[in-house]
Amino acid sequence: MTLKTNPFAPAAYGDEDIAAIKALAKGNASPGQQIAALKWIVDGAAGTYQETMVPGQPDVSDYLAGRRNVGLQIVKIVNTPAPLFKKDTK
């Protein structure tokens, strides 16, 4: 199977993505930039919703699964109510 894109290439980004990530890193992102930055991280950089299995290329599959895992962790925290994260300290 031939891949359509290079899985090791950086995720695609535009000027708005760059501005959003830079503002987020500085701590002064607008609400819209915060959403855009997180969307680029989850959808673009992590490839959270993309297929990770590449037949005949287990190393590439493993690499893509690792990237995807980052996005899945972020999505879990975003979508899980905060009280469910509190641990019983008894």
Q: What are 18-70's pLDDT values in tens digits? A: 999 999 999 999 999 999 999 999 999 999 999 999 999 999 999 999 999 99
1 within domain boundaries: no
Q: How confident is the model at residue 5 (pLDDT cuts 50, 70, 90)?
A: confident
44 within domain boundaries: yes
**pLDDT at position 72 over 60:** yes
Distance CA 74, CA 37 (A): 12
From residue 83, give the alpha-carbon distance in Å to each of 11, 71, 73, 74, 88: 34, 21, 17, 16, 11
Judge whether 69 and 47 are in contact, CB under 8 Å. Answer: no
45 within domain boundaries: yes
90 within domain boundaries: no
Q: What pLDDT score was predicted for residue 3? A: 61
From residue 85, give the alpha-carbon distance in Å to each of 48, 59, 74, 75, 88: 22, 33, 13, 14, 10
**pLDDT at position 1 over 90:** no
3 within domain boundaries: no
68 within domain boundaries: yes
Q: What pLDDT score was predicted for residue 86? A: 77
pTM of the model: 0.85
Distance CA 42, CA 72 (A): 8
84 within domain boundaries: no
How many distinct structural domains can be found in the chain?
Answer: 1
4 within domain boundaries: no
Domain holding 45, by residue range, is: 15-79
Q: Please, what is the end-to-end C-alpha distance for the chain in angstroms?
A: 53
Judge whether 27 and 7 are in contact, CB under 8 Å. Answer: no
